[in-house]
Amino acid sequence: MVTGSAMSWTDDEGGEAGAARSGDSSRRLIEAAIEAFADRGYHATTTRDIATRVGLSPAALYVHFPSKQALLGEISVVGHEAALELVERSAAGPGGPLARLEAVIRAFTAWHAERHRVARVVHHELTALADADRHRVLDIRRKIEGVVRAQLSAGTASGEMDVPDPRAVARALLSLSVDVARWYDPRGSRTAEEIGELYADLAARMVVARPSREPGDPV
């Protein structure tokens, strides 16, 4: 794992700090690798493809990253760390478990729309990661799922929610957000924020306790 460029590529605001730490070439190589992996997949991409996109030789790439797999590891670990940070921050906001769950899903969904290219690489190339990176990433994924499950537990305990299978529902909620990265098109009619807002509402509907209703009752 190469950690040089830190979070710069997932955060436009942090670009200068990232570049200062690790050099502009590392950052450009990471951005080029994201584009290449998202376009054609990890296995079909060569280090030459990546280097050529930024006008470097393959040899110059190896100055910054020891291998194509190290580049994927950097992208995947940093992407997961950014998502976890976002989720933890959202879960620490105001309100009860339902409001916090909505905040998590709102932010996590909008992130998957805005960063759909990074997110595709992060979610679709898990099996291509080196073992150490995959273990790190799986650990972060468990933490993200843990944050969601904590809201479901708290909401169930308070009576605000009714969640029959918290583990499966937590996975479904995250899965719904993750899949936005597969189909999101920035030229579409809805912004990332609008999709985040809609999905927060759908998440709330999925978990909120409902008055019991028999079939045939008026709705």
Contact yes or no for 21/5 (Cβ under 8 A) = yes
Site string for a copy of itself, 131-160 (x = CB under 8 A): ----------------------------xx
210 counts as binding a copy of itself under rule CB under 8 A: yes
Rounded to whole angstroms, what are the CA distances from 12 to 17, 79, 110, 149, 201?
10, 13, 15, 30, 28
195 counts as binding a copy of itself under rule CB under 8 A: yes
187 counts as binding a copy of itself under rule CB under 8 A: no
102 counts as binding a copy of itself under rule CB under 8 A: no
85 vs 93: CA distance, rounded Å: 13
Min CB(149)–a copy of itself separation in Å: 15
The amino acid at 116 = H
Nearer Cβ to a copy of itself, position 30 or 195? 195
Nearer Cβ to a copy of itself, position 43 or 142? 43
Min CB(121)–a copy of itself separation in Å: 12
209 counts as binding a copy of itself under rule CB under 8 A: yes
23 vs 21: CA distance, rounded Å: 6
**Subset of residues 33 to 72 that bind a copy of itself, contact rule: CB under 8 A:** 39-44
106 vs 111: CA distance, rounded Å: 9
Nearer Cβ to a copy of itself, position 6 or 200? 200
The values of phi and psi at residue 189, to 5°, are -85, -10
24 counts as binding a copy of itself under rule CB under 8 A: no
Q: Which stretch binds a copy of itself (CB under 8 A): 56-64, 66-74, 84-92, 209-217?
A: 209-217
Rounded to whole angstroms, what are the CA distances from 28 to 49, 60, 61, 200, 202?
13, 12, 10, 34, 37
